[in-house]
């Protein structure tokens, strides 16, 4: 009987030591994911903050584009409730997909707004517009970079909670998989380019 208790104690102590070290690693990786998520949100917030200035600059020159302005205002309003969400959104694939969809709508509206320069040459010479356009383009690049870094952090974390011995710790302490940013539908096909 004493031998069985000793074996069980040694087994329990081994599992505890094995998973104790794994726990700290998983916490570190989860925090890295959450930190990277905050970086993504920060870039999205910077973009959202620039939108009113860009819209008002363009509105002053393009008086007949109310549809575009309305779409951007609606997209930005939808994000009002989701831009400042905490990192728990990364635990819920449906909320995460909704967040991505709202961000895509805003990006699409901004793309249409920036395309107005073709119809309004005076926008091309407006210093405020050019500055805001440059800032938006820079933020879009930073968003892309931060999303990639976020996906890298999520990949390392998700792998750790699924591999032995991390899977034991993950199950014991309820570490859950995090959601990835996914490519937008249709981006797998190369766009048709025409120089007519």
Q: pLDDT tens digits for 15-31?
A: 665 555 588 899 999 99
Distance of CA 170 to the CA centre of its chain: 24
For the cut 70, the answer to whether the pLDDT of residue 152 exceeds it is yes
Position 76 in a domain: yes
- What domain count does the chain have? 1
Say yes or no to pLDDT of 65 above 60: yes
> Domain of 117?
2-173
Look-up: residue for tokens 């981006």? 187
Annotate 19-31 with b (16+ C-beta within 10 A) or e (fewer).
beebbeebeebbe
Asked whether residue 84 carries a pLDDT value surpassing 80, the answer given is: no
Q: What per-residue confidence (pLDDT) applies to 39? A: 92
pLDDT at 13: 62
Do the domain assignments include residue 181? no
Q: Mean per-residue pLDDT for 178-183? A: 84
Does 182 reside within a domain?
no
Instruction: Tell me the CATH number at 149.
Output: 1.20.1440.20
């Amino acid at each position: 009987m004493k031998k069985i208790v000793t074996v069980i104690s040694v087994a329990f102590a081994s599992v505890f030591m094995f998973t104790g070290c794994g726990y700290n690693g998983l916490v570190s990786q989860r925090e890295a994911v959450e930190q990277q998520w905050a970086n993504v949100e920060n870039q999205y917030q910077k973009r959202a903050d620039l939108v009113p200035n860009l819209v008002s600059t363009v509105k002053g020159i393009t008086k007949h584009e109310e549809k575009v302005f309305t779409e951007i205002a609606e997209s930005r309003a939808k994000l009002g409730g989701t831009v400042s969400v905490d990192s728990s959104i990364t635990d819920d694939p449906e909320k995460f997909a909704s967040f991505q969809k709202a961000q895509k709508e805003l990006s699409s509206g901004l793309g249409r707004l920036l395309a107005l320069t073709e119809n309004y040459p005076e926008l091309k010479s407006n210093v405020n517009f050019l500055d805001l356009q440059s800032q938006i383009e820079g933020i879009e690049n930073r968003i892309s970079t931060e999303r990639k870094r976020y996906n890298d952090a999520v990949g390392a974390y998700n792998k750790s909670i699924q591999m032995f011995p991390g899977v034991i710790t993950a199950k014991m302490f309820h570490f859950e998989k995090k959601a990835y940013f996914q490519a937008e539908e249709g981006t797998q096909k190369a766009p048709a380019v025409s120089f007519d």
